[in-house]
Amino acid sequence: MNQNHNASPKIAIYPGSFDPITNGHIDIVERAAALFDQVIVALAANSAKTLLFDLEERRAMITEAVVHLHNVTVADTTGLMIEYAAQSHAIALIRGLRAISDFEYEFQMALMNRKLAPNILTVFLMPHDKYTYLNSSIIREVASFGGDVSQFVPPGVAKRLTAKFSNRR
């Protein structure tokens, strides 16, 4: 395996659809920012998922949520994540692991990515256990029924969720 002997900054990519970003994602970004010189939150512009928020909205919410982290930036990405990682001179892909249920899919992705790009590491980080049950889809669902999600997402996200669903009701 290649060792990074020179002084080039250690860059990591944290990919996802972030629809919307939650306190669980932010927990992972903070851990990654403490480990790497630079973290790029790679926002999937062409996600196969049906999304609630468009690209601009998702990017704005992430940018607001990471403003306190000076080595974190946000970028729109399309296509293969390892290609984007290589272009950005990243040495690692960050993934959050919440529960056993995440494991099988994440394991498969990590092994496939290692076959495709042996020099890029997948680094799994665990969030604080108070975030292990959180995901974007449960947040969207609770908010769609008018539930209060303010303890699970940053204030800007809670506001946008309320606005989005009050328009729809």
User: Which residues are tagged catalytic?
Assistant: 25, 49, 98, 136
SS3 75: strand
DSSP single-letter state for residue 127: P
Considering the complex, state which of residue 4 and residue 137 has its C-beta at the smaller distance from ligand ADP.
Answer: 137
Considering the complex, state which of residue 86 and residue 106 has its C-beta at the smaller distance from ligand ADP.
Answer: 106
Residues that bind ligand ADP (CB under 6 A): 16-18, 22, 24-25, 28, 95-96, 98, 102, 127, 131, 134-136
Smallest distance, Å, CB 102 to ligand ADP? 5
Instruction: List Cα–Cα distances, 4 to 7, 87, 114, 117, 120, in angstroms.
Output: 8, 17, 17, 16, 12
Considering the complex, state which of residue 67 and residue 105 has its C-beta at the smaller distance from ligand ADP.
Answer: 105
Tokens at residue 42, please? 């790679």
How far is C-alpha 60 from the chain's CA centre? 14
Smallest distance, Å, CB 118 to ligand ADP? 21
